[in-house]
C-alpha cells in the first residue's frame, strides 16, 4: 500500500489517514508531498491525485484507491480483520463511529481558526465564541466516552482506536493554541501525544523544512 500525505506539520487529515495505516498493522509506504508549494497545482492534477481531486490523504492499494480519511479508516478496518479500529462492544462501537463521523463533518470554526501546526506553541488567547462552542461539544463527547467506555485505558474507548486517530489533530491544536480544555481532558491529551505513533509523526514534522506562511499566523485576538 502507498499512502500519499501532506506536510506532517500542517496536514491534519493526513495525520488521521497515517494513524489509520499504523493502526491496521499492515505494511505501507508513505509519500509526503509539500502542500501549496510552487509545484502543488500541477502535482495535484497528476494521475495519483485524480481520484481525490487533488486532496490528501489518498491510499493506493495496488489498483484500489481510497481517499478521504474516514473511508481510509473503514477500508483498513476491513482489510486488517475488523478488530483493531473500533470497540468490540456494540454500544461503544456505535458511539465511537458517531464521534468519528462528527469529527469528520463538524467543528468548522476550530478547524478554520486554529489550523494544525505541530511545530508551534502560541501564547494563550481567548477563543472566538464559535470555537468555544466547538471545544465545549468536544469536551462533552470526550467526557461521555471516557466515563462510559474508557475503563482502565488511556484513550477514549480504552485502547487507542480509530476515534483517537480522528481526534488526534484536535489534541495538537489544543496544545498549539493553548486552548482552554476541561481538566479531565489533559490526561487524555498527554496519552495521545506520548503515543509512539504520534511521537514518530511529530518527529517527522520537526524534521520538515517546508514552511507555509498562511498556517504560521497566530490566531487574531477576539
Burial 26-44 (b: 16+ CB within 10 A, else e): eebebebbbbbeeeeeeeb
- From CA 217, how far away is CA 209, in angstroms rounded? 17
Q: What is the smallest separation between the CB atom of 75 and ligand GSH, expressed in angstroms?
A: 12
Considering beta carbons, is residue 148 or 197 the nearer one to ligand GSH? 197
Q: What is the smallest separation between the CB atom of 54 and ligand GSH, expressed in angstroms?
A: 5
Considering beta carbons, is residue 12 or 128 the nearer one to ligand GSH? 12
- From CA 222, how far away is CA 219, in angstroms rounded? 9
Tell me phi and psi for residue 127, to 5 degrees: -75, 160
Q: What is the smallest separation between the CB atom of 210 and ligand GSH, expressed in angstroms?
A: 13
- Residue 117 contacts residue 215 (beta carbons within 8 Å): yes
- From CA 125, how far away is CA 134, in angstroms rounded? 16
Q: What is the smallest separation between the CB atom of 90 and ligand GSH, expressed in angstroms?
A: 25
Q: What is the smallest separation between the CB atom of 11 and ligand GSH, expressed in angstroms?
A: 4
Considering beta carbons, is residue 45 or 186 the nearer one to ligand GSH? 45
- From CA 61, how far away is CA 64, in angstroms rounded? 5
Could you list the residues that contact ligand GSH (CB under 6 A)? 6, 11-14, 35, 44, 54-57, 68-70, 104
Considering beta carbons, is residue 6 or 219 the nearer one to ligand GSH? 6
Considering beta carbons, is residue 69 or 128 the nearer one to ligand GSH? 69
Amino acid at each position: 500500500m502507498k499512502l500519499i500525505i501532506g506536510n506532517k506539520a500542517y496536514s491534519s487529515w493526513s495525520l488521521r489517514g497515517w494513524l489509520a495505516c499504523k493502526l491496521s498493522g499492515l505494511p505501507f509506504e508513505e509519500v509526503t508531498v509539500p502542500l501549496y508549494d510552487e509545484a502543488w497545482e500541477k502535482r495535484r492534477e497528476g494521475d495519483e491525485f485524480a481520484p481525490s481531486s487533488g486532496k490528501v490523504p489518498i491510499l493506493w492499494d495496488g489498483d484500489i484507491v481510497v481517499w478521504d480519511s474516514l473511508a481510509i479508516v473503514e477500508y483498513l478496518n476491513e482489510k486488517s480483520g475488523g478488530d483493531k479500529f473500533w470497540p468490540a462492544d456494540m454500544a461503544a462501537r456505535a458511539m465511537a463511529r458517531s464521534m468519528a463521523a462528527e469529527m469528520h463533518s463538524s467543528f468548522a470554526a476550530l478547524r478554520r481558526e486554529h489550523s494544525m501546526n505541530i511545530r508551534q506553541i502560541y501564547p494563550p488567547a481567548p477563543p472566538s465564541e464559535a470555537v468555544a462552542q466547538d471545544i465545549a461539544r468536544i469536551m462533552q463527547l470526550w467526557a461521555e466516552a471516557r466515563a462510559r467506555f474508557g475503563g482502565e485505558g488511556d484513550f477514549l474507548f480504552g485502547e487507542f482506536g480509530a476515534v483517537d486517530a480522528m481526534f488526534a489533530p484536535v489534541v495538537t491544536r489544543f496544545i498549539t493554541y493553548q486552548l482552554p480544555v476541561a481538566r479531565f481532558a489533559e490526561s487524555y491529551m498527554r496519552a495521545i501525544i506520548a503515543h509512539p505513533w504520534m511521537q514518530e509523526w511529530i518527529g517527522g514534522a520537526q524534521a520538515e523544512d517546508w514552511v507555509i506562511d498562511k498556517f504560521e499566523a497566530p490566531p487574531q485576538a477576539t
